[in-house]
């Protein structure tokens, strides 16, 4: 759970820094953050200024910028910040990048070209999107998030059990149904005007951060805006680094983050999958007498039975070895999880799955 120390990162944690994100990322040590969430500006204006995705309908003008000049400069900008992002991302960290059809293809292509390995594209389905007033297209009711590892061999974190718990014990899919950021969650000025045109809902960031980080790990947002990523990270007991060019947005973000009450450790805890739990070799159960040497193991249908040896190996006919190896051998399967295959005969003639003994042992050892 600890953050690597001595890299100079500690001084920058839990802060919002004002400035160009590429310059600011250059100050961060390499391989220092566990996750990155980026909601970059969607298009560049001719002058090279950044522009938020004001739809043409909203500002009512024809696109003043020339697409053919503009896309290459947008690509150059994208590659520049993604290159720095990749440098500061830890070897086994992951990045989320978000966009709409205007820019998401550029983002995805740049990610792949730079060596990132796409894990999923996730669809944020908006429950309450703006309708298409002119009736000339389908209602643009979603945005796309690309989730990628630093490279194809990354051993990235995915909190599978937590995501499954969040979805009533069914695997979380790649399409997420989440309302827009409205009502009291939306930051406004004194006159009630939106402080930021594209403030993202906290529920979206909740799911993102919960899916790929552990408490205490560091989340970087290079386009922090009014601070949704940092606010949610803080609430969930994660560390954050927020970069934002606009001082007004940054100030609003700082005030907002300050007001966030971090969850208690127990509330921030999530369901641990079996992968996260300590391993118990079968031999330990044997030597503790939980499943003593000489016990008989059978499969559920009692097709095979095996004898437990004093060293934790088992024997079934000519097959001999670990519970996994023998389980695979008798079934002529390429592999087998012995814990979920073998059972112990109970006094009443009932069978008890080996895995239940392991769970019991896990509980008793704290």
Partner DNA sequence: CGAATGTCTGAATCTATAC
Partner DNA sequence: GGTATAGATTCAGACATTC
Specify the residue, 10 or 113, whose C-beta has the smaller distance to a copy of itself: 113
DSSP 322: -
Name the residue nearer to a copy of itself (CB basis): 111 or 252: 111
Q: Closest Cα partner for 234 from 211, 201, 212, 202?
A: 202
Token code pair at residue 264: 């208690």
Give the one entry of a copy of itself, DNA, none that residue 13 binds, where binding means its C-beta sits below a cut-off of 5 to 8 angstroms depending on kind: none
Report what 181 binds from DNA, a copy of itself, none; CB cut-off 5-8 Å by kind. Answer: DNA
* 52, interface contact from a copy of itself, DNA, none, CB < 5-8 Å by kind: DNA
- Applying CB under 8 A, the span of 10-18, 191-199, 242-250, 285-293 interacting with a copy of itself comes to 285-293
59 binds a copy of itself (CB under 8 A): no
Q: How far is the CB of 343 from DNA (least distance, A)?
A: 15
The rounded distance, in Å, linking the Cα atoms of 293 and 301 is 22
Nearer to DNA, 4 or 182 (CB): 182
Tokens, residue 144: 């796309």
Closest-CA residue to 36 (of 110, 78, 95, 87):
95
Q: For a copy of itself, which is the closer residue by CB, 12 or 314?
A: 314
Residues 71-90 close enough to bind a copy of itself by CB under 8 A: 71
Q: How far apart are CA 290 and CA 296, in angstroms?
A: 13
Mutual angle of helices 228-235 and 247-258, in 10-degree steps: 20
177 makes contact, choosing from a copy of itself, DNA, none, with CB < 5 to 8 Å by partner type, with: a copy of itself
Q: Please, which residue, 4 or 139, has the CB nearer to DNA?
A: 139
124 token code pair = 């944020």
For the chain, state the CA radius of gyration. Answer: 26
CA distances from 102 to 68, 139, 326 (A): 13, 15, 55
CB closer to a copy of itself out of 148 and 253:
148
**CB 79 → DNA: shortest distance, Å?**
17
With CB under 8 A as the rule, give the number of residues binding a copy of itself: 111
The verdict on 277 binding a copy of itself (CB under 8 A) reads no
Of residues 231, 226, 234, the one with CA closest to residue 189: 226
Q: Which residue has the tokens 């040497």?
A: 293
Q: Which two tokens stand for residue 178?
A: 């989440």
d(CA 36, CA 89): 7
**Residue located via tokens 């559920």:** 300
- What residues from 246 to 275 belong to the interface with a copy of itself (CB under 8 A)? 263-264, 266-271, 273
DSSP letter at 237 equals T
Closest CA to 229 of 93, 38, 56: 38
C-beta closer to a copy of itself: residue 10 or 58:
58
User: Measured from the CB of residue 248, what is the shortest distance to DNA in angstroms?
Assistant: 16
Measured from the CB atom, the residue of 12 and 181 that comes closer to DNA is 181
Compute the least distance from the CB of residue 247 to a copy of itself, in Å: 28
Q: Tell me the closest approach of the beta carbon of residue 8 to DNA, in angstroms.
A: 26
Calpha distance 63→275 (Å, rounded):
51
Asked if 206 interacts with a copy of itself (CB under 8 A), we say yes
For residues 116-175, which are near a copy of itself according to CB under 8 A? 118-123, 125, 127-129, 131-132, 135-142, 144, 146-147, 152, 158-163, 165-175
Q: Which does 168 bind (CB under 5 to 8 A by kind): a copy of itself, DNA, none?
A: a copy of itself
């Amino acid at each position: 759970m600890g953050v690597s120390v001595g890299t100079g990162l500690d001084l920058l944690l839990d802060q919002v820094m004002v400035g160009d994100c590429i310059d600011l990322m250059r100050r961060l040590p390499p391989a220092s953050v566990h996750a990155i969430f980026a909601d970059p500006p969607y298009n560049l204006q001719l002058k090279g200024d950044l522009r938020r995705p004001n739809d043409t309908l909203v500002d009512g003008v024809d696109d003043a910028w020339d697409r053919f000049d503009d896309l290459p400069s947008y690509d150059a900008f994208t590659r520049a910040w993604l290159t720095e992002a990749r440098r500061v991302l830890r070897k086994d960290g992951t990045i989320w990048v978000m966009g709409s059809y205007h820019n998401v293809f550029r983002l995805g292509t740049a990610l792949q070209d730079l060596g990132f390995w796409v894990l999923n594209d996730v669809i944020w389905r908006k429950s309450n999107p703006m309708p298409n007033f002119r009736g000339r297209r389908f209602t643009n009711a979603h945005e796309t998030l690309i989730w990628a590892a630093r490279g194809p061999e990354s051993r990235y974190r995915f909190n599978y059990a937590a995501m499954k718990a969040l979805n009533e014990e069914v695997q979380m899919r790649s399409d997420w149904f989440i309302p827009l950021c409205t009502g009291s969650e939306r930051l406004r000025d004194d006159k009630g005007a939106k402080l930021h045109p594209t403030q993202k809902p906290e529920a979206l960031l909740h799911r993102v951060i919960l899916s790929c980080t552990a408490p205490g790990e560091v989340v970087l947002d290079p386009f922090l805006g009014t601070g949704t990523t940092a606010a949610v990270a803080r609430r969930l007991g994660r560390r954050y680094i927020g970069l934002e060019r606009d001082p007004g947005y940054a100030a609003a973000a700082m005030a907002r983050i300050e007001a966030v009450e971090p969850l208690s450790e127990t509330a921030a805890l999530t369901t641990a999958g079996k992968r996260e739990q300590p391993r118990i070799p079968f031999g330990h159960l044997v030597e503790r007498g939980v499943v003593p040497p000489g016990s008989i193991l059978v499969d559920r249908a009692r097709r095979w039975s095996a004898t437990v040896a004093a060293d934790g190996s088992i024997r079934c006919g000519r097959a001999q070895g670990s519970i996994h190896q023998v389980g695979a051998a008798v079934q002529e399967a390429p592999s087998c999880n012995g814990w979920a295959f073998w059972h112990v005969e109970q006094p009443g003639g009932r069978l008890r799955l080996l895995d239940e003994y392991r769970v019991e042992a896990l509980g008793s050892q704290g």
